Amino acid sequence: MKMSFRWYGEGNDSVSLADIKQIPNVTEIVWALHSKQPGEIWENDEIAAVKAQLDEYGFGMSVVESVNVHDDIKTAGKNRDLYIENYIKTLRNLSKFGVKVVCYNFMPVFDWTRTDLFHPLPDGSTALYYEKSKIKQDPSEMAEYILTNTKGYTMPGWESERLAHLKELFEVYSHVSKEQLWENLFYFLRALMPVCNECGIKMAIHPDDPPWDIFGLPRLIIDEASIERLLTAVDDPCNALTLCSGSLGANPDNDIPHIVRRFCDRIAFAHIRNVKHYDNGDFSEVSHRDADGDVGIIDIIRAYHDGGFDGYIRPDHGRHIWNEKCRPGYGLYDRALGIMYINGAWEMLDRLDGGKK
Ligand code: DNO
Considering the candidates 206, 208, 333, 341, report the single residue annotated as catalytic: 206
pLDDT at 135 over 90: no
SS in 3 state form for the chain? CEEEEECCCCCCCCCCHHHHHCCCCEEEEEECCCCCCCCCCCCHHHHHHHHHHHHCCCCEEEEEECCCCCHHHHHCCCCHHHHHHHHHHHHHHHHCCCCCEEEECCCCCCCCCCCEEEEECCCCCEEEEECHHHCCCCCHHHHHHHHHHCCCCCCCCCCHHHHCCHHHHHHHHCCCCHHHHHHHHHHHHHHHHHHHHHHCCEEEECCCCCCCCECCECCCCCCHHHHHHHHHHCCCCCEEEEEEHHHHHCCCCCCHHHHHHHHHHHEEEEEECEEEECCCCCEEEECCCHHHCCCCHHHHHHHHHHCCCCCEEEECCCCECCCCCCCCCCCCHHHHHHHHHHHHHHHHHHHHCCCCC
Residue 277 catalytic?
Answer: no
CA of 109 to the centre of ligand 1 (A): 13
Residue 342 CB neighbour total at 10 angstroms: 23
Query: Which pLDDT score, from 0 to 100, does residue 175 have?
Result: 93
Query: Which pLDDT score, from 0 to 100, does residue 149 have?
Result: 74
Query: Which pLDDT score, from 0 to 100, does residue 355 have?
Result: 60
- Listed residue (347, 268, 250, 265) closest to 314, CA to CA: 268
* Residue of higher predicted confidence among 185 and 165: 185
Q: What are phi and psi of 225, to 5 degrees?
A: -65, -40
Query: Which pLDDT score, from 0 to 100, does residue 162 have?
Result: 84
Angle between helices 80-95 and 178-199 (to 10 degrees): 30
* Residue ranges of domains in the chain, CATH in brackets: 2-352 (3.20.20.150)
Residue 206 catalytic?
Answer: yes
pLDDT at 98 over 80: yes
Tens of pLDDT, residue by residue over 263-278, are: 999 999 999 999 999 9
Query: Which pLDDT score, from 0 to 100, does residue 357 have?
Result: 46
Band (pLDDT 50/70/90 cuts) for residue 95 is: very high
Residue 173 catalytic?
Answer: no
Query: 103 in ligand 1 pocket by Cβ < 6 Å?
Result: yes
Q: What is the mean pLDDT of residues 310-328?
A: 97
* Residue of higher predicted confidence among 142 and 106: 106
Residue with CA closest to ligand 1 atom 3: 112
User: What are the residues facing 312 on neighbouring strands?
Assistant: 2, 269
Tens of pLDDT, residue by residue over 274-294, are: 999 999 999 999 999 999 999
Query: Which pLDDT score, from 0 to 100, does residue 141 have?
Result: 83
Q: What is the mean pLDDT of residues 190-213?
A: 97
pLDDT at 148 over 90: no
* End-to-end C-alpha distance for the chain, whole angstroms: 14
Q: What are phi and psi of 90, to 5 degrees?
A: -60, -45
Q: Are 2 and 100 in contact (CB under 8 A)?
A: no
Angle between helices 256-263 and 297-306 (to 10 degrees): 10
Instruction: Tell me the Cα Rg of the chain.
Output: 19
pLDDT at 56 over 50: yes
Mutational pocket test of ligand 1: of 65, 67, 113, 275, the residue with most ligand atoms within 8 Å of the beta carbon: 65
* Residue of higher predicted confidence among 148 and 212: 212
Give the amino acid at 294. Answer: D
Query: Which pLDDT score, from 0 to 100, does residue 34 have?
Result: 96
Question: CA-CA distance, 332 to 290, in Å (whole number)?
Answer: 20
CA of 247 to the centre of ligand 1 (A): 9
pLDDT at 132 over 70: yes
Residue 330 catalytic?
Answer: yes
Query: 66 in ligand 1 pocket by Cβ < 6 Å?
Result: yes
Question: CA-CA distance, 302 to 287, in Å (whole number)?
Answer: 18
Q: Mean pLDDT score of the chain, rounded to an integer? A: 95
Band (pLDDT 50/70/90 cuts) for residue 356 is: low
pLDDT at 300 over 80: yes
CA of 355 to the centre of ligand 1 (A): 34
Residue with CA closest to ligand 1 atom 4: 206
Residue 300 CB neighbour total at 10 angstroms: 26
Atom of ligand 1 nearest to the CA of 155: 9
Q: What is the mean pLDDT of residues 307-332?
A: 97
Query: Which pLDDT score, from 0 to 100, does residue 228 have?
Result: 98
Residue 317 catalytic?
Answer: yes
Tens of pLDDT, residue by residue over 241-253, are: 999 999 999 999 9
Query: 269 in ligand 1 pocket by Cβ < 6 Å?
Result: no
Tens of pLDDT, residue by residue over 210-240, are: 999 999 999 999 999 999 999 999 999 999 9
Query: 65 in ligand 1 pocket by Cβ < 6 Å?
Result: yes
pLDDT at 330 over 50: yes
Residue 70 catalytic?
Answer: no
Query: Which pLDDT score, from 0 to 100, does residue 147 have?
Result: 78
